[in-house]
Amino acid sequence: MLRAGIVGLPNVGKSTLFNALIANAKADAANFPFCTIEPNVGVVAVPDSRLQVLADISKSEQVVPTRIEFVDIAGLVKGASQGEGLGNQFLANIREVDAIVHVVRCFDDENIIHVAGSVDPVRDIETINLELGLSDLTQVEKRLERARKQAKKDKEVQVEVEILERLEAVLNEGKPARQVELTEDEDKLISPLGLLTRKPIIYATNVSED
């Protein structure tokens, strides 16, 4: 089952999106930062009109649609990768997801607080991407330090060291880890790190109804 993590700044509509996606979900959506602390998790079936047609052709007794699990974490803030706003804890909740849904606020409403004091979608996207990248950099640096020590006794670990050094260089430039081209085997080697910036990302813009 595909798993997707919902991220964004506080008060951008993450929990509202989660509630819209998941039937009977009741995730708190309030006008103050960090109204979500523990992650909300829900599963939704993916509608596919072809499914019943295929079931009729194959005479299947049971029809099971594709499902997606969504994980809604608390809003991230600048400094989240260093622990601001319990950011490290929140980021850990989505390291094992397959994709990231980044909710971006694109509407003005003086009654809804914005943590930065103003609405600027480009700035907000850059803030979240920076925090995801810095968090990944920390993961890579920690693993690289251990791998270098292990490589002195186990030459096979040297392959991982070389991959980690490539990732470290790209992340240090402020670029996402997905920009590093890896073979399938290389990707499997570093998959336990759960690098957030290697995951596919979908931007969900929250706009005014007007």
Name, in order, each residue with C-beta under 8 angstroms of 29's C-beta and a sequence gap of 6 or more.
13, 15, 16, 19, 35
181 burial (CB, 10 Å; 0-12 / 13-18 / 19+) is exposed
**Predicted confidence (pLDDT) per residue in 123-138, tens digit:** 999 999 999 999 999 9
Render the burial of 56-74: b for 16+ CB within 10 Å, e for the rest.
Answer: eeeeeeeeeeeebbbbbbb
Q: How far apart are CA 201 and CA 195, in angstroms?
A: 12
The CB-side HSE value for 191 (13 A sphere, CA atoms) comes to 10
Q: pTM of the entire structure?
A: 0.81
Tell me, what CATH number does 191's domain have? Answer: 1.10.150.300
**Predicted confidence (pLDDT) per residue in 163-200, tens digit:** 999 999 999 999 999 999 999 999 999 999 999 999 99
Q: Number of folded domains in the chain?
A: 1
Structural domain that includes position 98: 2-206
Extended beta strands in 32-148, E state? 40-45, 67-72, 99-105
157 burial (CB, 10 Å; 0-12 / 13-18 / 19+) is middle
Extended beta strands in the chain, E state? 2-7, 40-45, 67-72, 99-105, 201-206
Q: Which of 42, 32, 33 is nearest to 75 (CA)?
A: 33
Q: Which of 88, 74, 72 is nearest to 10 (CA)?
A: 74
pLDDT in tens, the chain (210 residues): 899 999 999 888 888 899 888 876 555 544 444 455 678 889 998 888 898 888 888 888 888 888 999 998 877 877 766 665 555 677 888 888 999 999 999 988 888 888 888 899 999 999 999 999 999 999 999 999 999 999 988 888 999 999 999 999 999 999 999 999 999 999 999 999 999 999 999 999 999 876
